[in-house]
Amino acid sequence: MPASTFTAANIKSTSKPAAVLELSHLLQADEQAISLDNRPNNVTITYDGEGTQVTITLTIPVSFSLDSNGNPTATAIDYLLSLT
C-alpha cells in the first residue's frame, strides 16, 4: 500500500506542538500500511499518562546540500515511497 499523499490541509491542529503530534501519527499510520517484512519503525510515540506528556522519536533520512549562500541545508527524504 503506498504512503498517503500529504498536504498542509491534512493537519487539523491549530498549534505547532499539536501539529507535530498529529503529523507523527500520520507517519506512523503510513509505516503500518507497509507489509511487515519491509516495514520501517522510524516513528515511536510514547505516552506518559501520569506526567501528561508524550515523547516522539523520529528517524528520517536526509540529504545535505549547500544553498546559494553556501550555507548547509538538510532536506528530508520521503523514505516511505521507496518501501511501498
Confidence at residue 13, expressed as pLDDT on a 0 to 100 scale: 93
pLDDT of residue 3 exceeding 60: no
Confidence at residue 29, expressed as pLDDT on a 0 to 100 scale: 92
Q: What's the domain count of the chain?
A: 1
Residue 14 maps to a domain: yes
pLDDT of residue 84 exceeding 70: no
Residue written as grid cell 516495514: 39
pTM, two decimals, is 0.78
Judge whether 40 and 79 are in contact, CB under 8 Å. Answer: yes
Q: Which three cell numbers stand for residue 54?
A: 508524550
Q: What is the H or E stretch that residue 65 is in? A: strand 62-66
Banded pLDDT at 81 (limits 50, 70, 90)? confident
Q: Determine the structural domain holding residue 42 and report its residue range.
A: 8-59
Residue 72 maps to a domain: no
Q: Which three cell numbers stand for residue 81?
A: 515511497
Residue 84 maps to a domain: no
How far is 57 from 62, CA to CA, in rounded Å?
A: 16
Residue 75 maps to a domain: no
Task: Render pLDDT for 12-51 as a digit per residue (tens, 0 to 9).
Answer: 999 999 999 999 999 999 999 999 999 999 999 999 989 8
Q: Which three cell numbers stand for residue 47?
A: 505516552
Residue 65 maps to a domain: no
